[in-house]
Chain A
Amino acid sequence: MASVALAVNERLKKMVFEAQGITAFAGKVFAKVFAPPFYWRDLYEQIHFLGIGSVYLCVFTGIFAGQAMALQFSKEMAEFGAKDYMGRIITLANVRALGPVLTGLMVAARVSSGIAAEIGSMKASNQIDALISFGTDPIKKLAVPRLLALFLMMPILTILTDTIAIIGGWIVSHFIVHVSDALYWTNVKQKLTYGNLLVGMTKPFFFGIIIAIVGCYKGFSSEGGTRGVGQATREAVVVSSISILVAEFMMTKGLFAILGW
């Protein structure tokens, strides 16, 4: 029993130190966002790689999540004679919560691990030291462009996932549940309110920050060569995914309070 308590204590301590490390690292990165030099080419490359390269993920996630959700809801809603409201529930669920969260988790899996692996490998092969020896600040050169790229691209990717999910919902509604198209799209439009869009579109900016900061932090803090890089990659996905879920809950609570819902 004592050993279990000790292990839990150690784990908690590690989590607190980790949170402390990530926060301090985030502070360093934010402090350098507006300070020259600006690496525009790196920003453009990261937008292309992290953002455009994640489009296919959002398309697959959106189409299957939308269809699965429509199938799940259709049976229950039909029992209450409410299947005509499919458009509402699909839009509401996707725009407010599922779209941002699914996009965040998918991008975290692809990008956070990639960032940690790339920066970790650079560290293991002395490329980070080489950058410093050439008078380049590695945080400015590597972390800031990735942060900005994800900050800018996450909302766009979320809009894409939301849109595709709503289309996925329509496919099921039209071909399987046989809901009128006009009714479906009217319901979709009715739920695309400023409030719902605000709740859904504020989160991706923060999810982008979380994915970039965790990925970069894990890469920069990796130790022990290739084994360390593997560990950093794994931890980047776990930490960023959990952080996204925690942030989702806290932000929903906060935004609901602001909107008086």
Chain B
Amino acid sequence: MIQLENIYLSLGGRPILKNINFAVPRGETKVILGPSGSGKSSILKIILGLWRPDSGRVIIDGRDMTGASNEEWDRARYHIGMIFQEGALFDSLTVGENIGYWLFEHTKMSEEEIEVRVGRALVEVGLDPEILDRMPDELSGGMRRRVAIARALASLEPKIMLYDEPTTGLDPLAVETIIDQITSLQKRKEVTSLVVTHDISDALKVSNRFIMIAEGEVIFDGNSEELRGSNHPFVFRFLGPFKSTLAHAFASFGEEKG
């Protein structure tokens, strides 16, 4: 479970997050929607302990991480997988080394055991093990994201998955593949997931629970029906450009869930 209470964050004197409150129950997926620069990614960095908020509480799986030491955060991160924008694969390592990075660094597994686990993770995300020796810059954007998901899977046996704009800049086919990965992971492993995106149609395919952030504040927290019916001027404006596809997307989502 992820819970944020009264989170405030400022960088260089500029307020980034103001009084952020929300919770993602264990095993559920929630999507954070909002325009670029609204503070969505900052929330993920706070949950991962990369940034410390000015005030407020971060509770991960019932444990209050406010004021936790670096070592405590390191231990907490063992169960948190993060898919960064563009994948953030290590440029100087091959695909195989990227996926097996955590195992090499933090376990005493033999190279053979690591290879098996790396291969299994690659297959899990639908990639051919032949790409193991390729460098990240030889992969397409979609493949890089899938390798990043494989890296999180092989490494950590995550209980929580955080996705930062996982579909941004990808072609429609790659978007479908990534969304499939996110939803199947949620079904198979029952991980608690938080997905940051500004694309409402992708958001609807991933979950039925949404938070909307604008200028560092939570302006909406609810399900798709409530989102569609929201009278908040910003929500109305944000959903505006998607109106033509929105009705269809809501209908499809309803059918799938039904």
Contact = CB atoms under 8 A, between A and B. Distances in A.
B105 A135 contact: yes
A44 to B, nearest CB: 13
Interface stretch (A22-30, A75-83, A123-131, A148-156): A123-131
A129 B102 contact: no
Interface string A126-166: 11011111111000000000000000000000000000000
Contacts of A136: 105
B237 interface: no
A143 to B, nearest CB: 15
B106 A135 contact: yes
30 contacts: A122-B90, A122-B91, A125-B86, A125-B88, A126-B84, A126-B85, A126-B88, A127-B88, A127-B89, A127-B90, A127-B91, A129-B45, A130-B84, A130-B88, A130-B90, A131-B90, A132-B50, A132-B77, A133-B48, A133-B77, A133-B80, A133-B82, A134-B77, A134-B101, A134-B106, A134-B155, A135-B77, A135-B102, A135-B105, A136-B105
Given A125-B88, A129-B50, A133-B48, 5 more contacts: A125-B91, A126-B84, A131-B90, A133-B77, A136-B105
A127 B87 CA distance: 9
Nearest to B156: A134
Interface string B67-83: 00000001001101010
Nearest to A45: B92
Interface residues of B, number: 20
Contacts of A135: 74, 77-78, 102, 105-106
B99 to A, nearest CB: 11
B183 to A, nearest CB: 23
Contacts of A37: 105
A40 to B, nearest CB: 13
Contacts of B85: 126
Given A126-B88, A127-B90, A129-B84, A134 B102 contact: yes
A interface secondary structure, majority: helix
Contact of A134 (B45, B86, B91, B105): B105
A126 B155 CA distance: 18
B247 to A, nearest CB: 36
A132 B101 CA distance: 12
A121 B80 CA distance: 24
A122 B45 CA distance: 16
Contacts of B86: 125-126
Contacts of B89: 127, 130
B257 to A, nearest CB: 32
A127 B91 CA distance: 8
What are the 4 A-B residue pairs with the smallest beta carbon separation, nearest first? Answer: A126-B88, A126-B84, A130-B88, A135-B74
Contacts of A133: 48, 50, 77, 80, 82
Given A134-B101, A135-B77, A135-B105, A129 B88 contact: yes
A132 B49 CA distance: 9
A131 B92 CA distance: 13
Interface string A113-124: 000000001100
Contacts of B80: 133
Nearest to B81: A133
Nearest to B80: A133
